[in-house]
Protein backbone atom coordinates (compact mmCIF):
# COMPACT_ATOMS: atom_id res chain seq x y z
CA UNK A 1 0.00 0.00 0.00
CA UNK A 2 1.44 3.38 -0.86
CA UNK A 3 0.51 6.81 0.30
CA UNK A 4 0.34 9.43 -2.40
CA UNK A 5 0.33 13.13 -1.65
CA UNK A 6 -1.35 14.55 -4.69
CA UNK A 7 -0.45 17.78 -6.45
CA UNK A 8 -3.19 19.64 -4.57
CA UNK A 9 -2.21 18.36 -1.18
CA UNK A 10 -5.03 15.81 -0.75
CA UNK A 11 -3.93 12.33 0.25
CA UNK A 12 -5.13 9.10 -1.30
CA UNK A 13 -4.16 5.56 -0.43
CA UNK A 14 -4.33 2.66 -2.83
CA UNK A 15 -2.34 -0.41 -3.81
CA UNK A 16 0.08 -0.17 -6.70
CA UNK A 17 0.28 -3.66 -8.15
CA UNK A 18 1.55 -3.70 -11.76
CA UNK A 19 0.28 -6.83 -13.53
CA UNK A 20 -2.07 -7.59 -10.59
CA UNK A 21 0.37 -10.12 -9.15
CA UNK A 22 -1.27 -9.98 -5.74
CA UNK A 23 -4.65 -8.31 -6.23
CA UNK A 24 -7.91 -10.27 -6.40
CA UNK A 25 -10.34 -8.34 -8.59
CA UNK A 26 -13.42 -10.42 -7.78
CA UNK A 27 -14.92 -13.36 -5.92
CA UNK A 28 -15.64 -16.44 -8.02
CA UNK A 29 -17.05 -19.93 -7.52
CA UNK A 30 -16.03 -21.23 -10.94
CA UNK A 31 -12.36 -22.22 -11.01
CA UNK A 32 -9.72 -22.86 -8.35
CA UNK A 33 -5.97 -22.94 -9.03
CA UNK A 34 -3.21 -23.83 -6.58
CA UNK A 35 -0.20 -22.82 -8.64
CA UNK A 36 2.39 -24.18 -6.19
CA UNK A 37 0.77 -27.60 -6.04
CA UNK A 38 -0.15 -27.67 -9.76
CA UNK A 39 -3.88 -28.12 -9.06
CA UNK A 40 -6.79 -26.95 -11.23
CA UNK A 41 -10.43 -27.52 -10.24
CA UNK A 42 -13.60 -26.48 -12.05
CA UNK A 43 -16.53 -26.15 -9.62
CA UNK A 44 -14.48 -28.47 -7.38
CA UNK A 45 -13.79 -31.17 -9.97
CA UNK A 46 -10.12 -31.89 -10.84
CA UNK A 47 -9.19 -31.12 -14.45
CA UNK A 48 -7.66 -34.61 -14.79
CA UNK A 49 -11.02 -36.27 -14.05
CA UNK A 50 -13.00 -33.94 -16.30
CA UNK A 51 -10.53 -34.53 -19.15
CA UNK A 52 -10.59 -38.30 -18.70
CA UNK A 53 -14.29 -38.93 -18.14
CA UNK A 54 -16.17 -35.81 -19.26
CA UNK A 55 -17.03 -34.14 -22.54
CA UNK A 56 -16.57 -30.50 -23.50
CA UNK A 57 -20.31 -29.80 -23.53
CA UNK A 58 -20.67 -31.36 -20.09
CA UNK A 59 -17.86 -29.07 -18.91
CA UNK A 60 -19.70 -26.11 -20.46
CA UNK A 61 -22.80 -27.06 -18.47
CA UNK A 62 -20.72 -27.42 -15.30
CA UNK A 63 -19.12 -23.99 -15.70
CA UNK A 64 -22.41 -22.27 -16.51
CA UNK A 65 -24.72 -23.99 -14.02
CA UNK A 66 -22.34 -25.00 -11.23
CA UNK A 67 -22.95 -28.75 -11.28
CA UNK A 68 -22.52 -31.72 -13.58
CA UNK A 69 -25.71 -32.41 -15.57
CA UNK A 70 -27.96 -35.43 -15.16
CA UNK A 71 -28.81 -37.42 -18.33
CA UNK A 72 -31.96 -35.34 -18.88
CA UNK A 73 -30.19 -32.03 -18.25
CA UNK A 74 -27.36 -33.03 -20.57
CA UNK A 75 -29.74 -33.99 -23.38
CA UNK A 76 -31.69 -30.75 -22.95
CA UNK A 77 -28.50 -28.65 -22.91
CA UNK A 78 -27.15 -30.40 -26.02
CA UNK A 79 -30.36 -29.78 -27.93
CA UNK A 80 -30.31 -26.08 -26.93
CA UNK A 81 -26.70 -25.75 -28.06
CA UNK A 82 -27.32 -27.54 -31.36
CA UNK A 83 -30.38 -25.40 -32.08
CA UNK A 84 -28.13 -22.33 -32.39
CA UNK A 85 -25.20 -23.65 -34.43
CA UNK A 86 -26.12 -21.76 -37.62
CA UNK A 87 -25.06 -18.15 -38.08
CA UNK A 88 -27.19 -15.58 -39.89
CA UNK A 89 -26.69 -15.92 -43.65
CA UNK A 90 -25.75 -12.23 -43.80
CA UNK A 91 -22.67 -13.10 -41.77
CA UNK A 92 -21.21 -15.06 -44.68
CA UNK A 93 -20.93 -11.71 -46.48
CA UNK A 94 -18.79 -10.30 -43.66
CA UNK A 95 -16.07 -12.83 -44.44
CA UNK A 96 -15.72 -11.71 -48.03
CA UNK A 97 -14.82 -8.23 -46.79
CA UNK A 98 -11.55 -9.52 -45.33
CA UNK A 99 -8.38 -10.15 -47.30
CA UNK A 100 -7.83 -13.86 -47.95
CA UNK A 101 -4.58 -13.72 -46.00
CA UNK A 102 -6.22 -12.14 -42.93
CA UNK A 103 -5.23 -13.80 -39.68
CA UNK A 104 -8.26 -15.83 -38.53
CA UNK A 105 -8.00 -14.24 -35.06
CA UNK A 106 -8.59 -10.83 -36.68
CA UNK A 107 -11.71 -12.28 -38.31
CA UNK A 108 -12.84 -13.74 -34.98
CA UNK A 109 -12.52 -10.40 -33.18
CA UNK A 110 -14.59 -8.68 -35.86
CA UNK A 111 -17.25 -11.32 -36.43
CA UNK A 112 -17.92 -12.30 -32.82
CA UNK A 113 -18.37 -8.61 -31.96
CA UNK A 114 -20.70 -8.34 -34.97
CA UNK A 115 -23.06 -10.98 -33.48
CA UNK A 116 -24.47 -8.13 -31.41
CA UNK A 117 -25.92 -6.75 -34.65
CA UNK A 118 -28.03 -9.89 -35.14
CA UNK A 119 -29.42 -10.82 -31.72
CA UNK A 120 -31.09 -7.75 -30.29
CA UNK A 121 -33.00 -9.84 -27.73
CA UNK A 122 -29.70 -11.04 -26.23
CA UNK A 123 -28.53 -7.48 -25.65
CA UNK A 124 -30.89 -7.12 -22.67
CA UNK A 125 -28.45 -8.20 -19.99
CA UNK A 126 -30.94 -7.45 -17.19
CA UNK A 127 -33.02 -10.48 -18.22
CA UNK A 128 -31.57 -13.75 -16.81
CA UNK A 129 -33.23 -15.79 -19.56
CA UNK A 130 -31.64 -13.63 -22.26
CA UNK A 131 -28.27 -13.86 -20.52
CA UNK A 132 -28.45 -17.65 -20.79
CA UNK A 133 -29.66 -17.51 -24.40
CA UNK A 134 -26.73 -15.22 -25.28
CA UNK A 135 -24.35 -17.62 -23.51
CA UNK A 136 -25.65 -20.63 -25.41
CA UNK A 137 -25.67 -18.75 -28.69
CA UNK A 138 -22.00 -18.00 -28.31
CA UNK A 139 -20.98 -21.56 -27.35
CA UNK A 140 -23.01 -22.83 -30.32
CA UNK A 141 -21.82 -20.38 -32.95
CA UNK A 142 -18.15 -20.20 -32.07
CA UNK A 143 -17.22 -23.45 -33.93
CA UNK A 144 -19.21 -22.31 -36.97
CA UNK A 145 -17.54 -18.88 -37.10
CA UNK A 146 -14.08 -20.40 -36.44
CA UNK A 147 -14.53 -22.99 -39.21
CA UNK A 148 -15.81 -20.31 -41.61
CA UNK A 149 -12.76 -18.14 -40.85
CA UNK A 150 -10.53 -21.11 -41.67
CA UNK A 151 -12.39 -22.04 -44.87
CA UNK A 152 -12.32 -18.45 -46.06
CA UNK A 153 -8.56 -18.12 -45.65
CA UNK A 154 -7.93 -21.31 -47.67
CA UNK A 155 -10.46 -20.42 -50.37
CA UNK A 156 -12.86 -23.31 -49.78
CA UNK A 157 -16.66 -23.12 -49.53
CA UNK A 158 -18.21 -22.87 -46.08
CA UNK A 159 -19.54 -26.12 -44.64
CA UNK A 160 -22.79 -25.84 -42.70
CA UNK A 161 -23.14 -27.44 -39.25
CA UNK A 162 -24.33 -31.05 -38.93
CA UNK A 163 -26.36 -31.20 -35.74
CA UNK A 164 -26.53 -34.99 -35.72
CA UNK A 165 -22.81 -34.98 -34.90
CA UNK A 166 -21.43 -34.20 -31.46
CA UNK A 167 -20.06 -30.67 -30.85
CA UNK A 168 -16.41 -31.41 -31.65
CA UNK A 169 -17.00 -33.85 -34.54
CA UNK A 170 -19.23 -31.22 -36.11
CA UNK A 171 -16.41 -28.68 -35.82
CA UNK A 172 -13.89 -31.05 -37.42
CA UNK A 173 -16.31 -31.70 -40.28
CA UNK A 174 -16.91 -27.98 -40.85
CA UNK A 175 -13.13 -27.45 -41.00
CA UNK A 176 -11.95 -30.43 -43.02
CA UNK A 177 -14.75 -31.72 -45.24
CA UNK A 178 -15.28 -30.48 -48.79
CA UNK A 179 -18.62 -30.83 -50.59
CA UNK A 180 -17.26 -33.02 -53.41
CA UNK A 181 -15.78 -35.68 -51.12
CA UNK A 182 -17.07 -37.94 -48.40
CA UNK A 183 -15.64 -37.11 -44.98
CA UNK A 184 -15.67 -39.36 -41.97
CA UNK A 185 -14.71 -37.90 -38.60
CA UNK A 186 -11.96 -39.92 -36.88
CA UNK A 187 -13.47 -40.62 -33.43
CA UNK A 188 -10.06 -40.78 -31.70
CA UNK A 189 -9.13 -37.34 -33.04
CA UNK A 190 -12.57 -35.97 -32.17
CA UNK A 191 -12.18 -37.23 -28.61
CA UNK A 192 -8.65 -35.79 -28.39
CA UNK A 193 -9.81 -32.38 -29.62
CA UNK A 194 -12.78 -32.48 -27.26
CA UNK A 195 -10.30 -33.08 -24.42
CA UNK A 196 -8.16 -30.16 -25.64
CA UNK A 197 -11.29 -28.00 -25.49
CA UNK A 198 -11.91 -29.15 -21.89
CA UNK A 199 -8.33 -28.19 -20.96
CA UNK A 200 -8.87 -24.67 -22.31
CA UNK A 201 -12.40 -24.10 -20.97
CA UNK A 202 -11.57 -21.77 -18.08
CA UNK A 203 -8.60 -20.57 -16.06
CA UNK A 204 -9.90 -18.00 -13.57
CA UNK A 205 -8.71 -14.37 -13.84
CA UNK A 206 -6.15 -14.59 -16.66
CA UNK A 207 -5.67 -11.54 -18.92
CA UNK A 208 -8.48 -12.32 -21.39
CA UNK A 209 -11.01 -13.29 -18.71
CA UNK A 210 -10.20 -10.14 -16.74
CA UNK A 211 -10.68 -8.21 -19.98
CA UNK A 212 -14.13 -9.77 -20.47
CA UNK A 213 -15.08 -8.92 -16.88
CA UNK A 214 -13.81 -5.35 -17.17
CA UNK A 215 -15.62 -4.80 -20.48
CA UNK A 216 -18.79 -6.36 -19.05
CA UNK A 217 -18.64 -4.31 -15.87
CA UNK A 218 -19.80 -1.26 -17.83
CA UNK A 219 -22.93 -3.15 -18.94
CA UNK A 220 -21.57 -3.76 -22.45
CA UNK A 221 -23.33 -6.52 -24.40
CA UNK A 222 -21.96 -10.07 -24.07
CA UNK A 223 -20.87 -10.41 -27.71
CA UNK A 224 -18.76 -7.24 -27.46
CA UNK A 225 -17.24 -8.52 -24.20
CA UNK A 226 -16.25 -11.86 -25.76
CA UNK A 227 -14.76 -10.04 -28.77
CA UNK A 228 -12.63 -8.05 -26.29
CA UNK A 229 -11.53 -11.33 -24.68
CA UNK A 230 -10.53 -12.74 -28.07
CA UNK A 231 -8.47 -9.62 -28.81
CA UNK A 232 -6.61 -9.98 -25.53
CA UNK A 233 -6.08 -13.73 -25.96
CA UNK A 234 -4.30 -13.17 -29.27
CA UNK A 235 -1.11 -11.83 -27.62
CA UNK A 236 1.95 -14.14 -27.64
CA UNK A 237 2.32 -13.89 -23.85
CA UNK A 238 -1.21 -15.39 -23.53
CA UNK A 239 -3.16 -17.56 -26.01
CA UNK A 240 -0.90 -16.67 -28.92
CA UNK A 241 1.84 -18.67 -27.18
CA UNK A 242 0.66 -21.95 -28.77
CA UNK A 243 1.40 -20.52 -32.21
CA UNK A 244 4.66 -19.00 -30.98
CA UNK A 245 5.71 -22.27 -29.28
CA UNK A 246 5.36 -24.25 -32.49
CA UNK A 247 7.23 -21.59 -34.47
CA UNK A 248 10.00 -21.75 -31.86
CA UNK A 249 10.22 -25.57 -32.12
CA UNK A 250 10.41 -25.23 -35.91
CA UNK A 251 13.12 -22.59 -35.58
CA UNK A 252 15.13 -24.82 -33.24
CA UNK A 253 14.66 -27.59 -35.80
CA UNK A 254 17.02 -30.23 -34.43
CA UNK A 255 17.91 -31.51 -30.99
CA UNK A 256 21.55 -30.42 -31.27
CA UNK A 257 20.48 -26.76 -31.55
CA UNK A 258 18.55 -26.81 -28.23
CA UNK A 259 21.46 -25.69 -25.97
CA UNK A 260 21.90 -22.55 -28.07
CA UNK A 261 18.23 -21.59 -27.59
CA UNK A 262 18.26 -22.44 -23.89
CA UNK A 263 21.30 -20.17 -23.49
CA UNK A 264 19.43 -17.40 -25.35
CA UNK A 265 16.41 -17.80 -23.05
CA UNK A 266 18.69 -17.28 -20.03
CA UNK A 267 20.48 -14.25 -21.50
CA UNK A 268 18.91 -11.11 -20.02
CA UNK A 269 20.17 -9.05 -22.98
CA UNK A 270 18.24 -11.25 -25.40
CA UNK A 271 14.43 -10.80 -25.52
CA UNK A 272 14.03 -14.46 -26.56
CA UNK A 273 11.97 -16.62 -24.17
CA UNK A 274 11.12 -20.29 -24.32
CA UNK A 275 7.55 -20.11 -25.55
CA UNK A 276 5.23 -22.56 -23.81
CA UNK A 277 7.31 -22.25 -20.62
CA UNK A 278 6.46 -20.36 -17.46
CA UNK A 279 3.19 -19.20 -15.99
CA UNK A 280 2.07 -16.39 -13.74
CA UNK A 281 0.26 -18.73 -11.36
CA UNK A 282 1.79 -22.21 -11.85
CA UNK A 283 5.13 -22.49 -10.11
CA UNK A 284 4.90 -26.23 -10.67
CA UNK A 285 4.01 -28.37 -13.69
CA UNK A 286 0.83 -27.03 -15.31
CA UNK A 287 -1.62 -29.96 -14.84
CA UNK A 288 -3.10 -29.22 -18.28
CA UNK A 289 0.35 -29.57 -19.89
CA UNK A 290 0.66 -33.14 -18.60
CA UNK A 291 -2.69 -34.11 -20.15
CA UNK A 292 -1.77 -32.24 -23.33
CA UNK A 293 1.51 -34.14 -23.57
CA UNK A 294 -0.34 -37.46 -23.25
CA UNK A 295 -2.91 -36.33 -25.84
CA UNK A 296 -0.09 -35.33 -28.20
CA UNK A 297 1.40 -38.83 -28.11
CA UNK A 298 -2.06 -40.36 -28.58
CA UNK A 299 -2.85 -38.19 -31.63
CA UNK A 300 0.50 -38.84 -33.30
CA UNK A 301 0.09 -42.60 -32.72
CA UNK A 302 -3.46 -42.54 -34.14
CA UNK A 303 -2.22 -40.77 -37.24
CA UNK A 304 0.67 -43.22 -37.60
CA UNK A 305 3.28 -40.46 -37.16
CA UNK A 306 6.22 -42.39 -35.71
CA UNK A 307 9.02 -39.86 -35.93
CA UNK A 308 8.01 -36.25 -35.57
CA UNK A 309 11.18 -34.13 -35.37
CA UNK A 310 9.20 -31.38 -33.60
CA UNK A 311 8.12 -33.80 -30.88
CA UNK A 312 11.74 -34.96 -30.50
CA UNK A 313 12.82 -31.34 -30.04
CA UNK A 314 9.98 -30.65 -27.58
CA UNK A 315 10.70 -33.71 -25.41
CA UNK A 316 14.43 -32.98 -25.28
CA UNK A 317 13.90 -29.26 -24.68
CA UNK A 318 11.61 -30.06 -21.77
CA UNK A 319 14.15 -32.54 -20.35
CA UNK A 320 17.01 -30.05 -20.59
CA UNK A 321 15.01 -27.14 -19.17
CA UNK A 322 13.68 -29.15 -16.23
CA UNK A 323 17.29 -29.94 -15.22
CA UNK A 324 18.64 -26.44 -15.77
CA UNK A 325 19.41 -24.26 -12.72
CA UNK A 326 17.83 -21.15 -14.30
CA UNK A 327 14.50 -22.82 -14.98
CA UNK A 328 14.51 -24.63 -11.64
CA UNK A 329 15.23 -21.46 -9.69
CA UNK A 330 12.57 -19.44 -11.54
CA UNK A 331 10.11 -22.35 -11.38
CA UNK A 332 9.53 -22.36 -15.12
CA UNK A 333 7.70 -25.48 -16.30
CA UNK A 334 5.95 -26.30 -19.59
CA UNK A 335 2.49 -24.77 -19.77
CA UNK A 336 -0.56 -25.89 -21.76
CA UNK A 337 0.76 -24.27 -24.94
CA UNK A 338 3.97 -26.27 -25.10
CA UNK A 339 2.53 -29.49 -26.58
CA UNK A 340 -0.73 -28.15 -28.01
CA UNK A 341 0.85 -26.81 -31.22
CA UNK A 342 2.40 -30.15 -32.22
CA UNK A 343 -0.93 -31.88 -31.52
CA UNK A 344 -3.07 -29.43 -33.49
CA UNK A 345 -0.60 -29.37 -36.39
CA UNK A 346 -0.73 -33.18 -36.58
CA UNK A 347 -4.53 -32.96 -36.73
CA UNK A 348 -4.23 -30.74 -39.80
CA UNK A 349 -4.75 -27.27 -38.36
CA UNK A 350 -2.43 -24.50 -39.60
CA UNK A 351 -0.60 -22.52 -36.91
CA UNK A 352 -2.81 -19.47 -37.50
CA UNK A 353 -5.80 -21.49 -36.23
CA UNK A 354 -4.24 -22.54 -32.92
CA UNK A 355 -5.30 -19.47 -30.95
CA UNK A 356 -8.71 -19.58 -32.64
CA UNK A 357 -9.23 -23.07 -31.16
CA UNK A 358 -8.19 -21.73 -27.78
CA UNK A 359 -10.75 -18.89 -28.13
CA UNK A 360 -13.45 -21.34 -29.17
CA UNK A 361 -12.95 -23.39 -26.01
CA UNK A 362 -12.35 -20.45 -23.66
CA UNK A 363 -15.62 -18.81 -24.73
CA UNK A 364 -17.50 -20.84 -22.12
CA UNK A 365 -15.13 -19.70 -19.37
CA UNK A 366 -15.44 -16.09 -20.44
CA UNK A 367 -19.21 -16.24 -20.61
CA UNK A 368 -19.56 -18.09 -17.30
CA UNK A 369 -17.37 -15.46 -15.64
CA UNK A 370 -19.33 -12.66 -17.31
CA UNK A 371 -22.63 -14.13 -16.06
CA UNK A 372 -21.26 -14.60 -12.56
CA UNK A 373 -20.17 -10.96 -12.50
CA UNK A 374 -23.48 -9.60 -13.79
CA UNK A 375 -25.37 -11.71 -11.24
CA UNK A 376 -23.18 -10.56 -8.34
CA UNK A 377 -25.18 -8.02 -6.27
CA UNK A 378 -21.92 -6.30 -5.27
CA UNK A 379 -20.78 -5.87 -8.86
CA UNK A 380 -19.36 -2.45 -9.71
CA UNK A 381 -17.89 -0.99 -12.85
CA UNK A 382 -14.17 -1.88 -12.95
CA UNK A 383 -12.16 1.25 -12.50
CA UNK A 384 -8.46 0.77 -11.57
CA UNK A 385 -6.49 3.74 -10.29
CA UNK A 386 -3.07 4.82 -11.50
CA UNK A 387 0.13 6.11 -9.99
CA UNK A 388 0.58 9.46 -11.77
CA UNK A 389 4.24 10.16 -12.58
CA UNK A 390 3.76 12.96 -15.12
CA UNK A 391 4.38 16.70 -15.05
CA UNK A 392 3.01 18.83 -12.18
CA UNK A 393 0.38 21.48 -12.97
CA UNK A 394 1.74 24.14 -15.36
CA UNK A 395 0.23 27.08 -17.29
CA UNK A 396 -0.76 26.74 -20.94
CA UNK A 397 1.78 28.33 -23.35
CA UNK A 398 0.47 29.93 -26.56
CA UNK A 399 1.81 28.33 -29.75
CA UNK A 400 3.75 31.49 -30.78
CA UNK A 401 5.44 31.66 -27.39
CA UNK A 402 6.75 28.05 -27.36
CA UNK A 403 10.50 27.66 -27.79
N1 LIG B 1 11.82 -18.24 -20.85
C2 LIG B 1 12.85 -17.68 -20.19
N3 LIG B 1 12.71 -16.95 -19.07
C4 LIG B 1 11.46 -16.77 -18.60
C5 LIG B 1 10.35 -17.34 -19.22
C6 LIG B 1 10.55 -18.09 -20.39
N7 LIG B 1 9.51 -18.64 -21.03
N8 LIG B 1 9.23 -17.00 -18.53
C9 LIG B 1 9.64 -16.24 -17.50
N10 LIG B 1 11.00 -16.11 -17.53
C11 LIG B 1 11.83 -15.40 -16.56
C12 LIG B 1 11.73 -13.88 -16.75
O13 LIG B 1 12.73 -13.41 -17.62
C14 LIG B 1 11.89 -13.38 -15.35
O15 LIG B 1 13.24 -13.40 -15.04
P16 LIG B 1 13.87 -12.31 -14.00
O17 LIG B 1 13.26 -12.64 -12.65
O18 LIG B 1 15.35 -12.56 -14.05
O19 LIG B 1 13.46 -10.96 -14.51
C20 LIG B 1 11.20 -14.46 -14.49
O21 LIG B 1 11.28 -15.68 -15.26
C22 LIG B 1 9.75 -14.17 -14.17
O23 LIG B 1 9.08 -13.90 -15.40
P24 LIG B 1 7.94 -12.82 -15.55
O25 LIG B 1 7.80 -12.45 -16.99
O26 LIG B 1 8.16 -11.71 -14.58
O27 LIG B 1 6.70 -13.67 -15.07
P28 LIG B 1 5.20 -13.40 -15.41
O29 LIG B 1 4.41 -14.15 -14.40
O30 LIG B 1 4.94 -11.94 -15.55
O31 LIG B 1 5.00 -14.04 -16.88
C32 LIG B 1 4.53 -15.51 -18.65
C33 LIG B 1 4.40 -15.24 -17.14
C34 LIG B 1 4.06 -14.29 -19.44
C35 LIG B 1 3.65 -16.69 -19.02
C36 LIG B 1 6.02 -15.80 -18.99
O37 LIG B 1 6.45 -16.95 -18.27
C38 LIG B 1 6.26 -15.97 -20.48
O39 LIG B 1 6.46 -14.98 -21.18
N40 LIG B 1 6.26 -17.26 -20.98
C41 LIG B 1 6.38 -17.50 -22.40
C42 LIG B 1 5.06 -17.25 -23.11
C43 LIG B 1 4.02 -18.30 -22.81
O44 LIG B 1 4.30 -19.50 -22.88
N45 LIG B 1 2.80 -17.85 -22.52
C46 LIG B 1 1.65 -18.74 -22.26
C47 LIG B 1 1.20 -18.65 -20.84
S48 LIG B 1 -0.09 -19.81 -20.53
C49 LIG B 1 -1.45 -19.13 -21.23
O50 LIG B 1 -1.62 -17.96 -21.40
C51 LIG B 1 -2.46 -20.06 -21.70
Residue whose CA lies nearest to ligand 1 atom number 18: 268
Could you give the CA distance from residue 234 to residue 196 in angstroms, rounded to a whole number?
Answer: 18
Residue 14 DSSP SS3: strand
pTM of the predicted structure, to 2 decimals: 0.93
How close are the terminal C-alpha atoms of the chain, in Å?
Answer: 41
Catalytic residues, which ones?
A: 279, 337
CB-based contacts of 64, cutoff 8 Å, min separation 6: 132, 135, 364, 367, 368, 371
pLDDT for 122 equals: 83
Q: HSE of 133 in the Cβ direction (CA atoms, 13 Å)?
A: 14
Give CA separation, 142 vs 69, 82, 130, 138, 400, in Å.
22, 12, 18, 6, 56
Q: Are 166 and 54 in contact (CB under 8 A)?
A: no
337 lines ligand 1 (CB under 6 A): yes
Burial of residue 324 (CB within 10 Å: 0-12, 13-18, 19+) is middle
DSSP 8-state code for residue 176:
H
DSSP label at 67? Answer: S
**Whose alpha carbon is nearest atom 22 of ligand 1?**
330
- Per-residue pLDDT at 263: 96
Q: What is the pLDDT of residue 133?
A: 95
Q: How far is the CA of 280 from the centre of ligand 1 (A)?
A: 7
**Cα 356 to ligand 1 centroid, rounded to whole Å:** 22
Which atom of ligand 1 has the smallest separation from the CA of 335? 48
Q: Whose CA is nearest to atom 8 of ligand 1?
A: 278
Q: How far is the CA of 329 from the centre of ligand 1 (A)?
A: 13
Rounded to an integer, what distance in angstroms lies between the CA atom of residue 368 and that of residue 166? 22
Instruction: Tell me the chain's radius of gyration from C-alpha atoms.
Output: 23
Any ligand 1 atom below 6 A from CB of 265:
yes
Q: Is the distance from the beta carbon of residue 288 to the nearest atom of ligand 1 less than 6 Å?
A: no
Task: State if residue 115 touches ligand 1 by the CB under 6 angstroms criterion.
Answer: no
Which residues does residue 82 pair with via DSSP β-bridges, in sequence order?
A: none
Q: What is the pLDDT of residue 307?
A: 85
CB 146 within 8 A of CB 359: yes
Residue 319 backbone zone (phi > 0: left; psi -120 to 50: alpha; other: beta): alpha
Nearest atom, ligand 1, residue 358 CA: 51
How far is the CA of 295 from the CAs of 57, 166, 288, in angstroms?
Answer: 19, 19, 10
- Is the CB of 362 within 6 Å of ligand 1? no
Q: What is the pLDDT of residue 4?
A: 52
> Edge-to-edge strand order for the sheet containing 39-42?
31-34, 39-42, 45-46
Distance between CA atoms of residues 369 and 29, nearest Å: 9
Pocket test for ligand 1, best of 234, 241, 278 (most atoms within 8 A of CB): 278
3-class DSSP state of 218: coil
CA 201 to ligand 1 center in whole angstroms: 22
> Distance (Å, rounded) from C-alpha 40 to C-alpha 32?
6
| pLDDT computed for residue 7 by the predictor | 59
User: Atom 14 (ligand 1): residue with closest C-alpha?
Assistant: 330
Please state the atom number of ligand 1 nearest to the C-alpha of residue 338.
44
Of all atoms in ligand 1, which is nearest to the CA of residue 207?
50
| Residue 189 CA, ligand 1 centroid: distance in Å | 31
Ligand 1: does its nearest atom lie under 6 Å from the Cβ of 103? no
pLDDT tens, per residue, the chain with 403 residues: 555 555 567 777 888 999 999 999 999 999 999 999 999 999 999 999 999 999 999 999 999 999 999 999 999 999 999 999 999 999 999 999 999 999 999 999 999 999 999 999 888 899 999 999 999 999 999 999 999 999 999 999 999 999 999 999 999 999 999 989 999 999 999 999 999 999 999 999 999 999 999 999 999 999 999 999 999 999 998 998 898 999 999 999 999 999 999 999 999 999 999 999 999 999 999 999 999 999 999 999 999 998 889 999 999 999 999 999 999 999 999 999 999 999 999 999 999 999 999 999 999 999 999 999 999 999 999 999 988 888 988 999 999 999 8
Cβ atoms of 222 and 122 closer than 8 Å: yes
| DSSP β-bridge partners for residue 14 | 2
- Tell how far the Cα of 121 is from the centroid of ligand 1, in angstroms: 42
- Decide whether any atom of ligand 1 lies within 6 Å of the 238 Cβ: yes
CA–CA gap between residue 230 and residue 108 (Å, rounded): 7
Amino acid sequence: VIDITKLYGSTHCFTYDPGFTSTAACESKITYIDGDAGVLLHRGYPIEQLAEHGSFLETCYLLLYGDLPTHAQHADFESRVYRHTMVHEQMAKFFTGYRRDAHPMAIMVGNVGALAAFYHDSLDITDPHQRMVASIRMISKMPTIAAMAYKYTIGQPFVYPTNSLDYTSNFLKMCFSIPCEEYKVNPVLARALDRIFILHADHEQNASTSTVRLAGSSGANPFACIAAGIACLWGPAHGGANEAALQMLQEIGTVDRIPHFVARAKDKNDPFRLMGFGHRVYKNYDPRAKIMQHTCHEVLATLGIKDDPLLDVAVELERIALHDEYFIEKKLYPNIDFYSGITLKAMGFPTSMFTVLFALARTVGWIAQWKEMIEDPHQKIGRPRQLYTGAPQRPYVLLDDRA
